[in-house]
């Protein structure tokens, strides 16, 4: 999973990755701070609050995708300490996640994609969204994440005095919505078994498929993570370069020999 680009390309990718990562994370933190400490929810502005919640949900997905690139070392290629630092901070802010635990689990997902032992896969319900999501949620949202979220909510509500309805709408809903969005577009749809078809009808050992979404739809749904076969075949490609990888045919046959080597 070490990036394999030439040095000049790795440097350019690192600059782009950092700029985009800072823009996504900065927007996410700014909107959260505004929604919690400046915005005052009323009956007249609740439509605006719903728009803010939807944008925050999308930005939350983006923050996790930035962390995902950091796991693969593709956020800033050749800078493992910087990747780890950025990923650890953002995952902690996202939901109190432990960097090493999630990174190791994600590497296990790549090694055992769509098989028993894959922490992202539910081999008992490979075509059932809600049962699979429940399994996924239990595996990743442990006591540490629950303690973090409850602590944040308690401080906001009991100490700072932010109304609970505002916390739920602008913190709780975006967080839960982003987990559903990430799971649906980034795990369930790519790896699910389609009813009425051969359960092993995948292109190769990665047991995944890619969406046919256009670039804008792909960005809106899951920051191009729907181009999932391309990602599994070339995990060194950052999220923002996946459309180019798809156009280059990475999801088809060109890299089969390289991946199998």
Model confidence at 259: pLDDT above 50: no
pLDDT digits (tens, 9 = 90+) for 106-148: 999 999 999 999 999 999 999 999 999 999 999 998 889 999 9
Model confidence at 181: pLDDT above 80: yes
The answer as to whether 239 is a domain residue is no
Cα separation, 59 vs 230, in Å, equals 23
The answer as to whether 230 is a domain residue is no
The answer as to whether 249 is a domain residue is no
User: With bands split at pLDDT 50, 70 and 90, how would you rate the model's confidence at 261?
Assistant: very low
Number of domains in the chain: 1
pLDDT digits (tens, 9 = 90+) for 43-94: 999 999 999 999 999 999 999 999 999 999 999 999 999 999 999 999 999 9
The answer as to whether 246 is a domain residue is no
Cα separation, 16 vs 61, in Å, equals 18
pTM of this structure: 0.90
Model confidence at 42: pLDDT above 70: yes
The answer as to whether 152 is a domain residue is yes
The answer as to whether 253 is a domain residue is no
**Token representation of residue 118:** 């894959």
Model confidence at 7: pLDDT above 80: no
Percent of the chain exceeding pLDDT 90 equals 84
Rounded to 5°, the CA angle 166-181-131 comes to 105
The answer as to whether 250 is a domain residue is no
The residue written with tokens 């391309």 in the block is 230
Percent of the chain exceeding pLDDT 70 equals 90
Closest by CA to 118, choosing from 168, 192, 7, is 192
The answer to which of 7-11, 77-81, 86-90, 179-183 has the lowest mean pLDDT is 7-11
Helix (H) or strand (E) holding 137: helix 129-140
pLDDT digits (tens, 9 = 90+) for 187-235: 999 999 987 655 557 989 999 999 999 999 999 999 999 999 999 999 9
> For residue 159, what are the domain limits?
7-195
**Token representation of residue 53:** 């919640």
Cα separation, 79 vs 15, in Å, equals 12
Rounded to 5°, the CA angle 125-97-22 comes to 110
The answer as to whether 115 is a domain residue is yes
């Amino acid at each position: 999973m070490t990036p394999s680009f030439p040095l000049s390309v790795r440097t350019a990718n690192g600059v782009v990755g950092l700029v985009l990562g800072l823009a996504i994370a900065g927007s996410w933190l700014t909107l959260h701070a505004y929604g919690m400490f400046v915005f005052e929810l009323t009956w007249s502005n609740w439509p605006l609050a719903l728009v803010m919640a939807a944008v925050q949900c999308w930005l939350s997905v983006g923050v996790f995708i930035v962390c995902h690139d950091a796991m693969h070392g593709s956020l800033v290629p050749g800078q493992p300490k910087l990747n780890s630092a950025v990923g650890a901070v953002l995952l902690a802010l996202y939901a109190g996640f432990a960097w090493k635990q999630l990174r190791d689990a994600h590497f296990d997902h790549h090694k055992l994609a769509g098989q028993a032992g894959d922490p992202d896969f539910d081999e008992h319900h490979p075509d059932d969204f809600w049962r699979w999501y429940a399994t996924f949620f239990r595996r990743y949202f442990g006591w540490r994440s629950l303690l973090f979220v409850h602590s944040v909510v308690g401080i906001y509500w009991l100490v700072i005095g932010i109304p609970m309805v505002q916390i739920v709408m602008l913190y709780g809903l975006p967080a839960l919505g982003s987990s559903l969005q990430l799971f649906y577009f980034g795990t369930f749809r790519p790896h699910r078994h389609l009813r009425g078809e051969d359960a092993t009808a995948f292109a190769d050992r990665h047991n995944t498929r890619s969406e046919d979404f256009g670039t804008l739809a792909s960005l809106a749904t899951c920051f191009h993570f729907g181009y999932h076969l391309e990602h599994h075949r070339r995990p060194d490609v950052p999220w923002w370069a996946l459309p180019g990888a798809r156009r280059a045919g990475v999801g088809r046959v060109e890299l089969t020999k390289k991946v199998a080597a």
